[in-house]
Chain A
Amino acid sequence: MLSCKEVTHLLSEAQDRKITLPERVNLEMHLAMCKGCKNFKSQMSFLREACQRYVKNQEKIDD
């Protein structure tokens, strides 16, 4: 069973590479019963989205 700390590392790496099947299974098992890590996962996706938006905002002309 993965610890929450390990899950945060895996969730960060999942932003950078395709995680393996065993990693995915372990991760899903953990997320199914851990609200904190589930929130952490959404927060990671949100960060990616915010960064993409940040760059777009800079490049856009605001009238």
Chain B
Amino acid sequence: MTPLPDANKKMIDNSTLTDIRRDMMKFAHLQLRDETLAEDVVQEALAAALSSAKEFAGRSALKTWVFAILRNKIIDQIRLQSRTSNVSSFSQQEESLDETFETLFKANAHWSPGHRPNDWGNPEEALRQQRFWDVFDACLKHLPENTARVFMMREFLEFETAEVCQELSITISNCNVILHRARNGLRNCLEKNWFTAGEQPC
């Protein structure tokens, strides 16, 4: 581990770094879907953060700073990959998500009664529960890789849709289709596994 400047040593010990690294890995892995690539960007981001002369006013400031660097490293990595892989490619998984979506409707394209979206009540309550985040995580991981990539660039890395298209060389309408697929897939997954399953009494 890179030695830290003295001033920070008191506050930023190894166990803090281990925790931060774990969360960085989780974030990077979710978006890159590749253990080795995730390791690489995390390592680069940590090294960049720790070698900078910046002084941190505590652990939170350090974490915010490394995550800002990590986002940029992830974006660089996505750019690199987009030159060699085709994000708009359509896998079996995407096809099955689309089929599931179609089953929600009657022939006239209105909701079929059993599949009408439910009232989620006061969903903000869920945001305070760790078990909700476990389900949310599982639902994100369940999205097909390319679908997830576009969705996370939009929602986690906060690109504008036009920028996502440009970075990944896909058309706006394709981008819209992919985002719709992702949102609906997530929505369905949450509805099935959290909101309908009820906020399960333990």
Contact = CB atoms under 8 A, between A and B. Distances in A.
A57 to B, nearest CB: 7
B27 A58 contact: yes
A1 B155 CA distance: 30
Nearest to A46: B123
A47 B186 contact: yes
Interface residues of B, number: 40
B120 A3 contact: no
Contacts of A61: 16, 19-20, 59-60, 63
Contact of B109 (A5, A12, A34, A52): A5
Interface residues of A, number: 35
A48 B63 contact: no
Nearest to A42: B120
30 contacts: A3-B109, A4-B111, A5-B105, A8-B180, A9-B176, A12-B176, A12-B184, A13-B180, A16-B160, A34-B111, A35-B119, A36-B111, A37-B111, A42-B119, A44-B187, A47-B155, A47-B183, A49-B127, A50-B136, A51-B156, A52-B155, A54-B136, A54-B156, A55-B27, A55-B156, A59-B63, A60-B60, A61-B16, A61-B19, A61-B20
Interface of B: 16, 19-20, 23, 26-27, 59-60, 63-64, 67, 105, 108-111, 116-120, 123-124, 127, 133, 136, 154-156, 160-161, 176, 179-180, 183-184, 186-187, 190-191
